Amino acid sequence: MEKPIFVLNGPNLNLSGSREPEIYGTDTLTDIEAACAEKIAQLSRTFVFRQTNHEGVLIDWLQEGRVQASGILLNAGGLTHSSIALYDCLKSIIIPVVEIHLSNPLRRESFRHQSYVGMAATGTIAGFGLHSYLLGIEALHIKLTHKR
């Protein structure tokens, strides 16, 4: 049986839909998970969807994904710009990792322009709201299917 795709979400993403909707949109994390479930089912894959506000928990899940997932979709939230520990963990992962963001960090404050996640990820998709997740799933599917 094929390993699932891990969809991992970091700090404050549980507030999606109500936190700064002019930046992050109005879709809740439940809406995002439902859209991911639909997209992944269309691709005949399975997934694990999780959110935490704790850096260590996110690192534990990434380490779990190293062996239990086929690929990882990661929205690390604010940890993207601050966590060298997350970067170090991601460097140990050999399966594809796609960094995603609801907003486009490059159109925001300058401190958001640095991405420790992006420095270790296979690729990055940002600025498309909920669709960043769907595009990320599609990118992972292509990467896993075509192995190039």
108 annotated among ligand-binding-site residues: no
Long-range pairs for 138-143: beta carbons < 8 A, 24 or more residues apart: 138/39, 138/43, 139/98, 140/5, 140/70, 140/71, 140/72, 140/73, 140/96, 140/98, 141/43, 141/45, 143/71, 143/96
Tracing tokens 């269309």 back to the chain, one arrives at 42
Clarify whether 101 is annotated catalytic. Answer: yes
Clarify whether 113 is annotated catalytic. Answer: no
102 annotated among ligand-binding-site residues: yes
88 annotated among ligand-binding-site residues: yes
75 annotated among ligand-binding-site residues: yes
* Contact of 96 with 88, CB cutoff 8 Å: no
Neighbours of 64 (CB within 10 A): 15
* Active-site residue, selected from the candidate residues 87, 101, 116, 133: 101
Q: Is 50 exposed, middle or buried (0-12, 13-18, 19+ CB in 10 A)?
A: middle
31 annotated among ligand-binding-site residues: no
Which residues belong to the annotated binding site for substrate? 75, 81, 88, 102-103, 112
Catalytic residues: 24, 101
Which residues belong to the annotated binding site? 75, 81, 88, 102-103, 112
